[in-house]
Amino acid sequence: MSTIAATVKTPNGGKYVRQLCKHWSHKLETAVDGDKGTVTFPNAVTVMDADAEGIAITITGEDRDAVQGLTDVVARHIDRFAFREDALVYDWAWRD
């Protein structure tokens, strides 16, 4: 398994997690519990856990390249919801 993670500073993390899970729920399996959301892609699982400081994001899957590719997908979608904020910074780092 390969896991990559990032922390994104934003005061609106919970809102973005809920919006993103709702957005993807039409095509993917999603789960939301408060400010924590899980999205199951065909090749990886993304977990987003928000608090007052921001969003902790982890993406885990068998294929390291697929996991890497999802970093851009997740970031672009969060950025769409955060268009009123300054550019968000994603500090992706491998955990394996």
Dihedral of the CA atoms 7, 12, 79, 36 (nearest 10)?
60
Cα-to-chain-centroid distance, residue 54: 11
- Class of 2-94 in CATH: alpha beta
Q: pTM for the full model?
A: 0.95
Phi/psi of residue 77, each to 5°?
-70, -40
Mean pLDDT in consecutive groups of 10 residues from the start of the chain, 96 residues = 97 96 96 97 97 97 96 97 94 91
Kind and range of the H or E run holding 61? strand 54-61
